[in-house]
Amino acid sequence: MPLEPLPERFQEVLEQARALGLDFFELRFEVVPEEIMAELAAYGLPTRAQHWSYGQVYNRNRLFGRMGLSRIYEIVLNNDPAYAFLLDTNRPVENLLVVAHVAAHADLFKNNALFQETNRHMVAEAAAHAQRIDRYREEVGDERVEHVMDIAMALEQHIDFPEGVHRRRYEESGAESRPGGAASRRDRPEERFAELFPEEEAPSGRELAPPPLPPHPERDLLWFLANYAPLTHWERDILEIQREESYYFYPQFATKILNEGWATFWHARILEEMGSLTPEETLEYARLHAAVVQPGSRLQVNPYYLGYRILRDVEERLGLERLWQLRREEDDVSLIQNFLTPELAEEMELFTYGPRGRFASAGREPDLEIKSRDIEQVREFLCRPRYNYGAPLVAVTEVHHGQLYLEQLDRHVSGLDLEYAKKTLEYIGELWRGPVRLVTADAEGREVELAWDGQESRRSRP
Amino acid sequence: MPAELPWELRRRGIRDARRHDQRVREAIRKNLRHLVTEEAIISSDGQRLVRVPIRYLERYRFRYGLPQSHQGVGQGKGEPGERLGEREGGGEGAAQAGDAPGELTFETDLTVQELARLMLEDMDLPWLEPKGRATRSRELRFDEVRRVGSLANVDKRRTLRENVKRKAARGDPRPGDFVEEDLRYRSWREEPRLQTQAAAYLLLDRSASMTLDKKYVAKAFFFWMVQFLRTRYERVEIVFIAHDAEARVVDERTFFAIGSSGGTICSSAYRAALEHIRRHHPAREWNNYVFHFSDGDNFPEDNAVAAEALRELLVESRMVGYGEIVEAAGPSFYGSPEGRAREREAERPRELERPKSLFGRALARVGDPHFVAVAIHRREDVYGALRAFLLADHGG
C-alpha cells in the first residue's frame, strides 16, 4: 500500500532536500515486508516476465535476509513518478536516512546525462512485457519460451549503449546517407534475408554488390539477431524485450559508484541540516552513516565509500558548484578517470592486485598479490569492470555464405572462458539457424576459433 | 506494488523460485549417472543432507577466462609483490564465485533418500510392492466419517457442509441453527499392516587382484542398493561378507579395508551367506538380496562348485546379483575430472555387457530369472548395474 499521506518527518526530509538544491521526480513511497523486498531486488522492477533465474536470486536474497547476512533497506526505481520501497522493519531514524538517500538517487536519475534516454515509464512498460511473454507461453508453451529467454539472458549484456535503444537497420540508415539511394529492403520482404545468402541471389544487374553485413563490427548482439536472424515473431519480441530492459538498466550499472556516492553525500548533508533530530537520533544516524561508508575489505572497496570519498574531495578542492556539474555529466569511468586524484588514492591506500604468476590455473583459487600503487593502474583496474556491463566485447564481424562470424574484440585483455563461450555460441547458432564462428583467445593468449555447425562444436587455431 | 499493476503479475518470486528448484532437480537427474559414484555422497552416513554438486545449471554467457574476481583494486598497507593470500569469502566475493572458469559447480542440499527416490524415478521402474511375511502390527487410520461419535471428534468442515446443504434445501443457504443430524464425526478404523523386512548380503572379493578402484565401484553399488532397499522395506539388515580363499562375516569398516594376498574361492562366500541366511533370515520371513562383486579371477576348480552354491542360494533369496568389475582402457575408470568431462560429452547410457570370465560364465549357466550378472567397466556403469538388478527384481 502506498504511504499516504506521507509522514510529516518524511516531508521534512524532502523539503530539506529540495532546499539544498536536489531536483527529483515525484516520489511514491511504499512500506513492504522483507520477502517483497527480496523479490524487488531479484527482478529489479516490480514486474518482469517470469524466469527461473530470478527465482534463483530471490531464493538467495531471502536466505541472506533470514540469516541476517544482508538487509535491503530501500529500493528506488528510475521512473516518473519514482517508486521507493522501504523495509517494514526499518527503525524511524533509518527511514529518515533512507528517504534522504532515495531523494538523491531520484535526483541523479532525473538529471544525469546517461539517464536522459531511459524510459521513465518502465514500471508499466515492463509489466506490458511480462504480459506479452505470458501470452507467448500460452501460445507456444512454457518450455520453448523459457529456452529463448535463456538465450536472450545469456546475451543481455551485449548491447551498444551509445547507439541508443531505437535503431534502424543498416540499409535504412545507409539509404538516408546516400541521397536517392536504393529503397529500403524492408519494403520487399522476399529480399529481407537475401544478403545472408548471396550465392542464391537472383542475378540482376539492377543493384551493385550488396554492402557488407554488418558494415562495421556490431557489438549489439541482441539487436543484430533480432533484426537479421530468421526468427519468429515471438522470438524476436523476446530479444527486443530483453534488449529494452538492458538499456533501461545500463545507466544504473554505469553510475553505481557515482550514484551511491551522491546519495550518501546528500543523505549526510540533509540529516545534518535537519533541525528536528533529537540527540539520540543524531547519535543513531551517525552510527548508521558510519556503517554505510565503511571502507570494505582488503580486496573489495565499498562503492558507497569510494564514491563518497571522491565527491567529498571534489567539494573540498573545487567547491559545491563543481559537484552539480559532475552529477549531470559523469559516469563511473569518467568520475574515476577525472576525479580520483593520486593524493586521494594514496590516502585511501588503494592498490591493484592479481594472481601471482602469469595465469591462474583453471578452477583453482589462486594466490593473490599486490601488483601496483600507480594511479593509472588503479584507475584502469577500477574502470575495467565498469564498461559494457563488465562483459567481454564480442562483436559480429561478418556474414558470409550464411555463416555468422563473431570476434572477441578485447581478447588481448583476456580470452573467453571457452566452455561457456561454446555454449553461448550454440545459443547464437540456434537463433541464427545456421553455422556460427567465434574468434577468441585461450588461457595462454593464443588465438583460437570456436565453431558450431548446428550439430557439433569444434575448436581450432585459425 | 504500484497500484496500477495488474494482479496476475504480482508475486512472481515464489513461482520462479519453484521453477528454479525444479530445474535443480532436472539437473540432478541428468547427473545421476555421475552422482552415483560421487565420493562425498557415498561416504556419507546416508542420514544427513548431502551437498550435491550440480553442473549444467549455469547461466551461460560470454565471460572472461581469467576470472575478474582474481584481479581488482584493494586497500591497505603493503608493497607491490606482497602476498595477499586467498580471497575472503562472503559479501560481494561470494556473489562473484560464479566467475571462476573450469568445472565450477554449485551445490544443493538433498537427503540421500531423496536422491535415491529421484534415481528410482529416473530408472522408470514401477513401484514394487514388497512381499510382506507376517502381520506384525495394526495401524490406526483416522479417516472415516460417521454420524455418531464423541463431540471432541466433530469434523467441523463436513458438519458445516451438511448444515448448509440441509438449509439450502429449504431456500436459506446460510450456515447456522445446527441440529443433531448435521453433525459428522471423524472416526478411526483399524488396518492390518504387513511388516516388511529385507536382508542385504553384500559379498566382496578382496583378493589381491581387487584394486582400490574396483572396490570403490563395489562400495558405490552397495551404498545405493541399500538405499533403494530402504525406500522399499521398513527394516533392512545388512550382512557384510568378505572373501578371498575363505569367507568371513565382517563389519562395514573391515569390509572395504585392504585385502589379502591370497587366491580366490568364490563358493566360500556363497556358502557363508547360505549358512547365515538359514540361521538368521529364513526366506519365509525375509526378503533376501545377495550381491557379489569380484573381478572373476576365481580358482578354476571352484567355478562349478560356486554355481551349485548359487543354485541353493537362489532358493533362499529373492534375488542374487553378480557384478564383475573389469578395468577399462583409459583414465575414465579413475574418474579424473577431465575424463569425466569427456564422458559427459558422449553421454549415453551404455548397454551393460555380460561377465566374460570363466567364473562369470559358469554362474550364467545356472539360468535363473532371479539371478543377474553384469560386467562393469567404468564408474558410470554402476548406475546401469543398479538398474539391471532392480529390473530383474521386478521380473521376479
Write out pLDDT tens, residues A129-142. 999 999 999 999 99
A299 to B61: CB separation less than 8 angstroms, yes or no = no
Helix (H) and strand (E) counts for chain A?
Answer: 17, 12
The residue with greater pLDDT, B94 or A346, is: A346
pLDDT of residue A260: 96
Q: How many angstroms separate the CA atoms of A378 and A49, rounded?
A: 39
| B residues 17-36 lying closer than 8 A (beta carbon) to A | 17-23
Name which of A353, A424, A441 is nearest B84 (Cβ-Cβ).
A353
The residue with greater pLDDT, B207 or A278, is: A278
pLDDT of residue A91: 92
Q: Which residue of A has its CA nearest to B6?
A: A127
Q: What is the pLDDT of residues A14-54, one digit of tens each?
A: 999 999 999 999 999 999 988 889 899 999 998 899 898 88
pLDDT of residue A183: 40
Q: Which residue of A has its CA nearest to B61?
A: A154
Q: What is the pLDDT of residues A293-321, one digit of tens each?
A: 999 999 999 999 999 999 999 999 999 99
| B residues 42-61 lying closer than 8 A (beta carbon) to A | 58-61
pLDDT of residue A234: 98
Confidence of residue A433 (pLDDT cuts 50, 70, 90): very high
Is B65 in CB contact (< 8 Å) with chain A? Answer: yes
pLDDT of residue A247: 97
A415 to B13: CB separation less than 8 angstroms, yes or no = no
Mean pLDDT of A234-250: 98
The residue with greater pLDDT, B95 or A203, is: A203
Confidence of residue B395 (pLDDT cuts 50, 70, 90): low
Q: Is the pLDDT of residue A378 over 50?
A: yes
A381 contacts in chain B (CB < 8 Å): 71-73
Mutate which of A29, A353, A379, A456 to test chain B, going by most B C-beta atoms within 10 A?
Answer: A353
Share of chain B above pLDDT 90, in %: 27
Mean pLDDT of B88-102: 33
A50 to B61: CB separation less than 8 angstroms, yes or no = no
Is B1 in CB contact (< 8 Å) with chain A? Answer: yes
The residue with greater pLDDT, B255 or A252, is: A252
Most confidently modeled range among A222-236, B23-37, B338-352: A222-236
Most confidently modeled range among A347-351, B100-104, B215-219: A347-351
Q: Which residue of B has its CA nearest to A438?
A: B62
Confidence of residue B392 (pLDDT cuts 50, 70, 90): confident
Distance from CA of B8 to the nearest CA of A (A): 9
Name which of B23, B78, B100 is nearest A370 (Cβ-Cβ).
B78
How far lies A118's CA from each of A107, A110, A113, in Å? 14, 10, 10
Bridge-based pairing state of the strands A368-372 and B83-85? antiparallel
Q: What is the pLDDT of residues B4-44, one digit of tens each?
A: 555 555 678 888 888 887 887 777 777 777 777 777 677 76
Query: What is the ipTM score, two decimals?
Result: 0.88
pLDDT of residue A22: 98
Mutate which of A300, A406, A414, A450 to test chain B, going by most B C-beta atoms within 10 A?
Answer: A300
The answer, as to whether pTM is greater than 0.80, is no
- Of the listed ranges A210-224, B42-56, B266-280, B374-388, the least confidently predicted one is B42-56
Confidence of residue B190 (pLDDT cuts 50, 70, 90): low
Confidence of residue B162 (pLDDT cuts 50, 70, 90): confident
Q: Which residue of B has its CA nearest to A86?
A: B1
Q: Is the pLDDT of residue B167 over 90?
A: no
Q: Is the pLDDT of residue B46 over 70?
A: no
Q: Is the pLDDT of residue B132 over 60?
A: no
| B residues 90-129 lying closer than 8 A (beta carbon) to A | 90-93, 100-104
A415 contacts in chain B (CB < 8 Å): 64-65
B104 contacts in chain A (CB < 8 Å): 363
Share of chain A above pLDDT 90, in %: 73
Q: Is the pLDDT of residue A359 over 50?
A: yes
Name which of A36, A352, A385 is nearest B68 (Cβ-Cβ).
A385
Average pLDDT taken over every residue of chain A: 89
